[in-house]
Amino acid sequence: MVSIPGFLLRKLYVRGTLENTSQGIAFRLRNTLGSGYAEKMLPVRLDGEEIPLSRCFFWSGGKKRSFDQVSRSDPFTLSLNQDIVVSVEDISLTPEPHTVGIGFRVPGFGELRFDFVDVPSSQEATSHEAT
C-alpha cells in the first residue's frame, strides 16, 4: 500500500482558519493534492484528546455531515481545489497554540493522519459554509 507522509497531508490545512464558533470550533481544509475520497473518517484529536465522531462534522456545498455518516457506500469526497470546513461541537479553545489531528481511511492508501498546530482566531464564526 502506498503511504502519504504527514507533512504533505498537513498542506490540506488552511493556516489561520482555526477558530471558536457559537457551537464549538471550526477550521478549513483546501485540497491541493488531488481528488479523492474517504470511506471512513477518524475522530478529530484536540491536544491529544480524541473527540467522538458524532461531534465532528464537515461542511461542503452548504451541507453539514457528521463524520460517523461516512461509509464505503456513502464516502466523503474532496475534489481538487475544493474547500471544506470541519467543525467540532461542544468544545472551545483558549487563545494559545493547540494541536489538532484529523484522519481518514482512503482505499488504496489505508488510514491517513496528519496534525497541525495553530492559535485560534479571536473572531467567532457565523457561518461554516465552504466556498
- DSSP run (H or E) holding 8: helix 6-9
How many other CB atoms are there within 10 angstroms of residue 10's CB atom? 13
Domain ranges of the chain: 6-115
CA end-to-end distance (rounded Å), the chain: 33
Residues of the chain scoring pLDDT < 50: 125-131
Query: What tens digit of pLDDT does each residue of 32-62 get?
Result: 888 888 999 999 999 999 999 999 999 877 8
pLDDT of residue 128: 47
pLDDT of residue 123: 52
What's the pLDDT at 122? 66
pLDDT at 3 (0 to 100): 74
What CATH number was assigned to the domain covering residues 6-115? 2.60.40
Spatial distance between the Cα atoms of 82 and 21, rounded to a whole number of angstroms: 22
C-alpha cell read off for 71: 461509509
